[in-house]
Amino acid sequence: MPDAKYVYLFPEGNKDQKDLLGGKGANLAEMTNLGLPVPPGFTITTEACNAYIQAGNEFPAGLLDQVRDALKKVERETGKGFGDPKNPLLVSVRSGAKFSMPGMMDTILDLGLNDETLEGLIAKTGDKRFSYDSLRRFIMMFGDIVLEIERTKFDQIFDEAKEQAGVATDAEMPAGALLDVASRFRELVKSETGDPFPEDPLQQLELAIRAVFNSWDNQRAKHYRRIEKIPDDLGTAVNVQTMVFGNMGDDSGSGVAFTRDPVSGDPEIWGEYLANAQGEDVVAGIRTPTPIAAFKDSAKELYDEFAEISNKLDRHYRDAMDMEFTIEQGKLYMLQCRVGKRSSRSAVVIAVDMMHEGLITKEEALQRVEPERLDELLHPQVDPHIKTVPITDLGANAEKAATATPDLIFTVPAGRLERVKSANALPDSAVIASGGERTIAAMPLADWDALGTDQRDALLENAEFLEIARGLAASPGAAAGTAVFDPDTAHERGRNGEDVILVRQETSPDDIHGMQAAQAILTQRGGMSSHAALVARGFGIPCVAGCEQITVDEAARSMSVGGLTISEDQTITVDGSTGAVLLGKVPTVAPDLFPKLTELLGWADEVRKLGVRTNADNPPDAAKAIEFGAEGIGLCRTEHMFFEQDRLPVVREMILSAAEAKSLESAVAELESAVRGASGASRAAMEERLSDLKGSLEGPMGRYRGSLEKLLPVQQGDFEEIFRVMEGRPVTIRLIDPPMHEFLPDHDELLETVTRLRATGKDGAELREKEAMLHEVERLRETNPMLGLRGCRLGILYPEVNEMQVRAIFGAAAAVAKEGKEVHPEIMIPLIGFDEELAQLRELLERVAQETLQEAGVDVPYLFGTMIELPRAALTAGKIAAQAQFFSFGTNDLTQTTLGLSRDDAEASFLTHYMEKGILRDNPFDTIDQEGVGQLVTQAVKAGRATRPDLKIGICGEHGGDPRSVHFFHEAGLDYVSCSPFRVPIARLAAAHAALEDRT
Ligand code: PEP
Ligand code: MG
């Protein structure tokens, strides 16, 4: 049997062979066949890599022969010889898996160099310095990547040599010194490995191929694959390509470009270029490159040639491409192209533009944008009204500002101080330095939140926030957090829920775990295509790169700017949309939909089958959700209205008197039945006790009913506002759900206060009041409140509360209906486990609804339904549907109770370990557990509809905004999902993706 074909010359492949040739290889083949200037070369297949790994790191039979054959053909094409001392062919060796894995695999340049071929290179180029530098680079890369000698050992030698030569930069090193460095590198290799540096080009190539194959399984590649969910058995291809040199003087250079702007999505070529540099220098972020637009002026012809290639690729691939190119002494070469990574905003803009340009269909445009990516667009942006001032302008006060700890740090110029003061917008406690030109102030976020709208406006209008520096706007959005200077700390603290900003000189693949846990990335060096920028855009987190005004001292865990030091633990804000880095937290604003996103979401609405509603408890949230395209409210949690400052005391009074009234009420009922069975003297005594008992019931019962009466108009007002905002869209209102103790003061805090008061013996009245409260709190305390007296159980025990809520809902519905507006209330009962619970509540509450509407003299259509959030409810859904016109799956509780996992406890303790150990693939509170909880959902849908074919079914747990869960709910045949306002666009797009997948 002949050996399998393991090696493909570039003209033998095409772009659809990514599985076999890897992304890079397939695209090099495609570009070659498009007639673009690609240096000749060949690709060793992923199958060869897999065969190598399976054989325990042995090359498959025939591979090396095929490599030699391919080399011969490349030699013929280039007219050079591999190992030829007169006219040497040098190659680059690059990995290239099916999916692009930025920075994960290592590249070797200038392979084929040794003392003999060096002479040929000198003869050919006439440039000794360049040739020696190439040798030096090659030995270092090869030593680091293939021979696995620590990179720092090479750096140390090179740094010493620079010092000896008395130069500061690589570029200033004289030729002789570079040759000397190369021989010291060789000595290092000998002493580290025990063997001389391999001088035979074929041996070098063989070792390099091995190293690429081995790198498929290195730690950082594995980590990246785990994060990106890339299977481990794809293997990597190896690309061997004729070297072209971007470092042959000022008419040479290397660059990275995109066919469209990867940040804004604008249809203009975007790129960066480094003169006299190799491609690796651009990506590694060692020097900050210049925009390609400059190159347009200095070399117009070349630019035009490049622009033509760019447009050709954009149209050919029907997608925005990322290209790497090199110019060798004025001649352009294309080294790579692939579908470009882009910001979420540009993903939307490019998809919509390409549809209008006739390159793709609406369906393709929708599929081009992953729903998760919209999340980034729906995150806060720095408030556009804020003003900034460079921190270095503060003079002597800068130090004070830089060491202040509260969240918001700003300055108010002397001329504006009065205005802020007269608006009462600057608490005295905030001032940390006053007098002179500026007042410096710092306040905790809570103080800012406590300011009224007018006060905030006054502050924003007059205050100036402190800009530390400005770099490249490399990945949009704004985030604040604690500055952290190493990836391990970022990983550790980020995982514990802290907001951290990873600040580095530049990032490398070894930093991935820290980058993943950070809210944003800030780097001192590197351009828009640096590792930091690419990874941040991929993760959808803000990034400011190439921020050269700052000096990051990673060892000292600090950064400095203009003589000022900002240390670890200071809060900073990174604005990846403008490139600004600010001190402290900066006020942010909720994002708005931009026109192209609105257009794309409109296309999503045309294809999706699932409805999308929102979870909203107040009119502003409801209004925002409508703006984002919500078609109704799927969950209005009424208890949130009880928590507001002015209502809480009434709610507490209601709860405390309810408990007392209820226990007295049952004592009265018991005594009444005892009286009926008694006679004579004992009956008389009982009657007397009964009358006393009834007397003592009056007080608590009066307070209970009285507080409900106080709450009624307030709740009614809330609902009226919501109905008005919703303009006739359905509004599902859930009756009170949480355990009562949630409305009362915290038990431990109360106990502490009581103990303190007892010890000091100070204020008798306060102590008595707190003791009474503590007593009640203890009475209502439960060991496991999530499974205790909550949900419909409260409604069964305290029907008066549910009655009040239903009266408020229908009172509001009637009032708004009388204004001539449509209203569609849907009453939803939580935590049903037994159909009888629902039957009893329904009888009572529908009566109240009817009465209220009759009193108001209007008819309002309404539905009565339930949440399905206990396994028993799901299992008996057929019976429950007899009592319910709709179901809404409460997948938060359904997940807790099906998995027997307390959300709060599990997420804080063992859930991440379960994911790390592979027991769970996803957090089941984020993405629905299809196998378990999903089965209950599917079964309940079927049973519910069997009883009541027109049963309306939705879901209102957190999963309603998770794309993969939305997919599942589409398949399960639900009518709608309901999620928080900011996730409504995500759900719309995810529902469209699910519907489109059905078609294929
Ligand atoms: C649920 O359990 O899924 C739900 C929406 O209710 P809550 O989160 O308020 O318990
Ligand atoms: Mg619930």
Residues 36-90 have pLDDT tens digits of 999 999 999 999 999 999 999 999 999 999 999 999 999 999 999 999 999 999 9
**Which pLDDT score is estimated for 217?**
84
Mean pLDDT in residue range 212-239: 84
For residue 958, the ligand 1 atom closest to its alpha carbon is: 3
Q: Identify residue 591 by its one-letter amino acid code.
A: P
- The closest residue, in CA terms, to atom 3 on ligand 1 is 890
Least Cα distance to 422 among 377, 398, 454 occurs for 454
CA distances from 997 to 177, 229, 483, 651 (A): 62, 20, 43, 49
Is-contact 618 412, C-beta < 8 A?
no
Distances in Å between the Cα of 462 and the Cα atoms of 395, 420, 446 are 20, 7, 20
Predicted confidence at residue 284, as pLDDT, reads 58
Q: How many CB atoms lie within 10 A of CB 181?
A: 25
Q: Is 892 in the pocket of ligand 1 (CB under 6 A)?
A: yes
- In this predicted structure, the answer to whether residue 537 has a pLDDT above a threshold of 70 is no
* Protein residue with least CA distance to atom 6, ligand 1: 890
List CB contacts of 501: < 8 A, sequence separation 6 or more.
479, 480, 481, 482, 483, 484, 518, 519, 520, 521, 522, 572, 574
271-282: buried (b, 16+ CB within 10 Å) or exposed (e) per residue? bbbbbbbbbbbb
Of 956, 959, 979, 993, the active-site residue reads 956
Question: Ligand 1: does its nearest atom lie under 6 Å from the Cβ of 883?
Answer: no
How far is it, in rounded angstroms, from Cα 998 to Cα 1000? 6
Kindly state the average pLDDT of the residues 923-932: 93
Q: Would you say the CB of residue 587 lies under 6 angstroms from ligand 1?
A: no
> How far is residue 318 from each of residues 30, 65, 306, 337, 492, measured CA to CA in Å?
14, 38, 18, 13, 42
Contact (Cβ atoms closer than 8 angstroms) between residue 485 and residue 547: no
Residues 213-217, mean pLDDT to the nearest whole number: 88
- Range 143-154 average pLDDT: 92
Q: How would residue 7 be classed by pLDDT, with cut points 50, 70 and 90? A: very high
Q: Cα-flanking dihedrals φ and ψ of residue 585, to 5°?
A: -90, 145
Assess whether pLDDT exceeds 60 at residue 285.
no
Residue 635 CA: which ligand 1 atom is closest?
5
Q: In this model, does residue 182 exceed pLDDT 90?
A: yes
pLDDT, residue 578, reads: 84
What one-letter code names the amino acid at 143? G
Highest mean pLDDT among 489-503, 877-891, 921-935: 877-891
Q: Note the pLDDT of residue 608.
A: 98
- Which single residue is written with the structure tokens 């693939």? 921
Task: Using the mean position of ligand 1's atoms as its centre, give its distance from the Cα of residue 444 in Å.
Answer: 31
Is 531 annotated in the active site?
yes
Ligand 1 pocket member 957 (CB < 6 A): yes
Q: Residue with structure tokens 């095929």?
A: 66
Residue 11 DSSP one-character state = G
Which residues does residue 552 pair with via DSSP β-bridges, in sequence order?
Answer: 559
Protein residue with its CA nearest to atom 9 in ligand 1: 637
Name the catalytic one among 379, 491, 531, 824. Answer: 531
Across 147-156, 220-229, 508-517, which has the greatest mean pLDDT?
Answer: 147-156
Q: What is the C-alpha to C-alpha distance for residues 564 and 567, in angstroms, rounded to an integer? A: 10
Q: Report CA 627 to chain centroid distance, whole Å.
A: 22
What spacing in Å lies between the alpha carbon of 36 and ligand 2's midpoint? 60
Distance of CA 856 from the midpoint of ligand 2 (Å): 32
Ligand nearest the Cα of residue 637 is 1
- Tell me the chain's radius of gyration from C-alpha atoms: 35
Residue 105 pLDDT class (50, 70, 90 cuts): low
Alpha helices per DSSP H over 526-609: 531-539, 595-607
Q: Are 275 and 291 in contact (CB under 8 A)?
A: no
Environment class of 623 (CB within 10 Å of its CB; exposed 0-12, middle 13-18, buried 19+): middle
Please indicate whether residue 617, judged by its CB atom, sits closer than 6 Å to ligand 1: no
Alpha-carbon distance of 70 to 7, in angstroms, equals: 7
Evaluate if residue 15 carries a pLDDT over 60.
yes
Residue pair 326/244 in contact by the 8 Å Cβ criterion: yes
β-bridge partners, 270 = 258
Q: Does the beta carbon of 635 lie inside 6 Å of ligand 1?
A: yes
Separation CA 713–CA 646 (nearest Å)? 13
- Does the CB atom of residue 637 touch ligand 1 within 6 A? yes
User: What share of the chain in percent tops pLDDT 90?
Assistant: 63
The pLDDT value given to residue 289: 75
Q: Which of 829, 956, 959, 969 to mutate to test the pocket of ligand 1 (most atoms within 8 A of CB)?
A: 956
| 410 beta partners | 441, 465
pLDDT of residue 795: 94
Instruction: Locate all alpha helices (DSSP H) within 727-834, ordered by sequence.
Output: 747-760, 764-780, 792-797, 799-818
Question: Mean pLDDT highest for which of 415-429, 705-719, 897-911?
Answer: 705-719
| Lowest pLDDT segment from 381-390, 559-568, 875-884 | 381-390
Confidence grade of residue 286 (pLDDT, cut at 50, 70, 90): low
Task: State residue 102's pLDDT score.
Answer: 55
Longest Cα separation, the chain:
130
Positive or negative, the Cα torsion across 854, 856, 857, 858?
negative
pLDDT value of position 763: 67
Measured in Å, residue 281 CA sits from the centre of ligand 1 at 52
Lookup: tokens for 153: 């050992």
Helices (H) and strands (E) in the chain, counts: 40, 35
Q: Is the CB of 891 under 6 A from ligand 1?
A: yes
Residue 868 CA to residue 879 CA, distance in Å, equals 12
> Mean pLDDT across the chain, nearest whole number?
91
For residue 674, report the distance from its CA to the centre of ligand 1, in Å. 43
Ligand with an atom nearest the CA of residue 639: 1
* Residue 634 CB–ligand 1 contact under 6 Å: no
- How far is C-alpha 369 from the chain's CA centre? 15
Nearest CA to ligand 1 atom 8: 892
